[in-house]
Amino acid sequence: MPFEMGWYIKNEIVYMNLIGDVTEEEFNAGVDKLNQWTEEVGKTLDIIADNRQLESYPRLASLVNVETPDEPGWLIIIGLDHPVMRFIVSAASQILRLKLKRVADETEAIAVLKRVLPQHADQYHTPFADYVTWEHGETITDA
């Protein structure tokens, strides 16, 4: 199954919806897209990753393609119950110098966003997927 990416807040916050078994190829395609968007906007992007439908994640070695930002951004993970996946995400956030916050649901994610990125507080709405601009956020699949 794929994962989808789009802009939750254009040029600021990326929303990722990870579904089922995310393969290394899908993950790398997403990383390439994220690196492209970061380069286009010229700054570190913050990320909301919705893992509530995620079954499996690629191994940590897949992260070698991820560019380390100069300024750390936020990675807000919604739903991350599997202990191995929690370890992978924690290790990845340290490697990538991201500020990590795990939350149970979108309501908790909104509370975190308002606290850590208050400049956009009036733009935070749920369900997140209804407010994502998918124009650049095509579904990433095994081709």
Instruction: Give pLDDT tens digits for 98-140.
Output: 788 889 999 999 999 999 999 999 999 989 888 898 754 454 4
Least Cα distance to 82 among 101, 102, 108 occurs for: 102
Split at pLDDT 50, 70, 90, the class of 141 is very low
Distance between the two ends of the chain, CA-based, in angstroms?
11
Mean pLDDT, range 50-57, rounded to an integer = 84
| Residue 135 pLDDT | 56
Please name the residue that has the structure tokens 């997403």: 30
Burial class (CB in 10 A: 0-12, 13-18, 19+), 64: exposed
The overall average pLDDT reported for the chain is 81
Mean pLDDT, range 75-96, rounded to an integer = 76
Helix (H, G, I), strand (E, B) or coil at 110: helix
Alpha-carbon gap, residue 106 to 9, rounded angstroms:
15
